[in-house]
């Protein structure tokens, strides 16, 4: 566990949770299929880039980037399990109908961070 990246992940989780607590009803809307797809499509590569940048800034050697990304994503994976389970209490401003979308979005965010730090190899033909 990389403690500085864990703390950064915790700070990101806290800021994002507070933002959703105040403005989430405009971001996650029930039945808004196109908006959800767009949100997922934009978030995935942004989280991949963010994780790469944060691992690089932390001075981690490439072989430790996956562990760094796990440290970064761990707060979201653990804490948003509770946010999803108790969605109406945590996010009273949002429709309970978007709880699944919220959970999917958090998974997309974490997947982007984890896959973003994997080494890339070119396939030779």
> Residue 45 sits in which domain range?
3-11+38-116
Q: Does residue 21 lie in a domain region?
A: no
Residue 123: pLDDT above 70? no
Q: Find out whether 81 and 12 touch, Cβ atoms under 8 Å.
A: no
Residue 124: pLDDT above 60? no
What average pLDDT score do residues 85-96 get? 96
Q: Does residue 69 lie in a domain region?
A: yes
pLDDT at 120: 73
Q: Does residue 16 lie in a domain region?
A: no
Q: Does residue 59 lie in a domain region?
A: yes
Q: Does residue 121 lie in a domain region?
A: no
Q: Does residue 23 lie in a domain region?
A: no
Would you list the DSSP string of 57-98?
Answer: HTT--GGGHHHHHHHHHHHHHHHHHHHHHTHHHH-TTS-GGG
Q: Does residue 33 lie in a domain region?
A: no
Q: Could you read off the pLDDT of 100-109 as tens digits, one per residue?
A: 999 999 999 9
Distance (Å, whole) CA 74 – CA 70: 6
Q: Could you read off the pLDDT of 24-82 as tens digits, one per residue?
A: 999 999 998 999 999 999 999 999 999 999 999 999 999 999 999 999 999 999 999 99
Give the chain's domain count: 1
Q: Does residue 20 lie in a domain region?
A: no
Residue 122: pLDDT above 80? no
Worst-scoring range by mean pLDDT, 13-22, 33-42, 114-123? 114-123
């Amino acid at each position: 566990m990389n403690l500085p990246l864990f703390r950064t992940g915790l700070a990101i989780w806290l800021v994002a949770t507070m933002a959703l607590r105040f403005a989430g009803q405009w971001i996650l809307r029930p039945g808004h299929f196109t908006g959800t797809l767009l949100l997922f499509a934009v978030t995935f590569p942004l989280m991949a880039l963010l994780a790469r940048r944060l691992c690089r800034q932390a001075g981690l050697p490439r072989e430790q980037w996956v562990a760094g990304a796990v440290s970064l994503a761990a707060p979201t994976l653990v804490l948003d399990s509770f946010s999803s389970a108790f969605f109406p209490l945590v996010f009273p401003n949002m429709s309970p109908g978007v709880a699944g979308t919220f959970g999917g979005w958090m998974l997309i965010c974490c997947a982007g961070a984890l896959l973003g730090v994997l080494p890339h190899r070119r396939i030779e033909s």
